[in-house]
Chain A
Amino acid sequence: MERPFAITLGVGSSLANHTGSWRVEHPEYVHRMPPCNAACPAGENIQNWLYIAEDGSYEPAWQELIKENPFPAIMGRVCYHPCENVCNRGELDEAVGINSIERFLGDYAIEHGWRIPGPTSESGFKVLVVGAGPAGLSAAYHLRRSGHAVVIKDATHAPGGMMRYGIPKYRLPREILDAEIDRIAGMGVQFQLNTRVEDVHDEMDSFDAVFLAIGAQLSKRAYIPAGESAKILDAISVLSDVENGTPPSLGRRVVIYGGGNTAMDVARTAKRLGADEAIIVYRRTRDKAPANDVEVTEALEEGILIKWLSTVSNMDGEKLTVEKMELDERGFPQPTGEFEDLEADSLILALGQEVDFSLLGNSADLDVTNGTIAVDRAMMTSHPGIFAGGDMVFADRTVTTSIGHGKKAARNIDAWLRGSDFKSSEEKVPVTIDELNTWYYTDAPHVISEKLEAARRVQDFSEIVKGLDESTALYEARRCMSCGNCFECDNCFGVCPDNAIKRLGPGLGYEIDLDYCKGCGICVSECPASALQMFPDA
Chain B
Amino acid sequence: MLKQVEGSRAVAEVVAACRPEVICAYPISPQTHIVEGLSQLVKNGDLLGCEFINVESEFSAMSVAIGASATGARTYTATASQGLLYMVEAVYNASGLGLPIVMTIANRAIGGPINIWNDHSDSMSQRDSGWIQLYAESNQEAVDLHVQAFRIAEEMSLPVMVCMDGFILTHAFEEIDIPTQDEVGAYLPTFRPRQVLDPGDPVSIGAMVGPEAFMEVKYMAHARMIESADHIARAAIDFKEAFGRDSGGLVRSYKIERAQTVVIALGSILGTLKDLIDQMQDEGISIGVVGITSFRPFPVNELRDALKNCKRVIVLEKAFQTGIGGIVTEDVDRSLRGLGVERSTLIAGLGGRPISTQSLRSYLVKAIDSGVEELTFLDLEIDTVESELARERNSR
A contact residues vs B (CB 8 Å cutoff): 1, 3-11
Contacts and interface: CB of A to CB of B under 8 A. Distances in A.
Given A11-B202, A11-B204, A4 B216 contact: no
B195 interface: yes
Contact of A7 (B97, B201, B202): B97
B209 A10 contact: no
Contacts of A5: 213, 216-217, 220
7 contacts: A1-B195, A4-B195, A7-B97, A7-B209, A8-B207, A9-B207, A11-B204
Q: Is the interface of A mostly helix, strand, loop or mixed?
A: loop
A416 B214 CA distance: 76
Contact of A8 (B195, B214, B216): B195
A7 B203 contact: no
Interface string B303-330: 0000000000000000000000000000
Contacts of B207: 6-9
A300 B289 CA distance: 107
A1 to B, nearest CB: 6
B353 interface: no
* Contact-residue bracket for chain B: 10 to 19
Contact of B217 (A1, A3, A7, A9): A7
Contacts of A4: 98, 194-195
B201 A8 contact: no
Interface of B: 96-98, 194-196, 201-207, 209, 213-214, 216-217, 220
B315 to A, nearest CB: 36
Contacts of B220: 5
A9 to B, nearest CB: 4
B378 to A, nearest CB: 44
Contacts of A10: 203-204
Contacts of A8: 195, 203-207
A7 B217 CA distance: 8
A527 to B, nearest CB: 30
Contacts of B195: 1, 3-4, 8
Contacts of A11: 202-204
Contacts of A6: 207, 209, 213-214, 216-217
A17 to B, nearest CB: 13
A157 B205 CA distance: 83
A8 B216 CA distance: 14
Nearest to B204: A9
B92 to A, nearest CB: 13
Contacts of B204: 8-11
A5 B96 CA distance: 11
A22 B141 CA distance: 60
A6 B207 CA distance: 8
Contacts of A7: 96-98, 205-207, 209, 217
A3 B201 CA distance: 12
A70 B194 CA distance: 71
Contacts of B217: 5-7
The 9 closest A-B pairs by CB, nearest first: A6-B213, A9-B207, A9-B204, A11-B202, A6-B209, A8-B205, A6-B217, A8-B203, A1-B195
Contacts of B209: 6-7
A44 B152 CA distance: 75
A110 B368 CA distance: 112
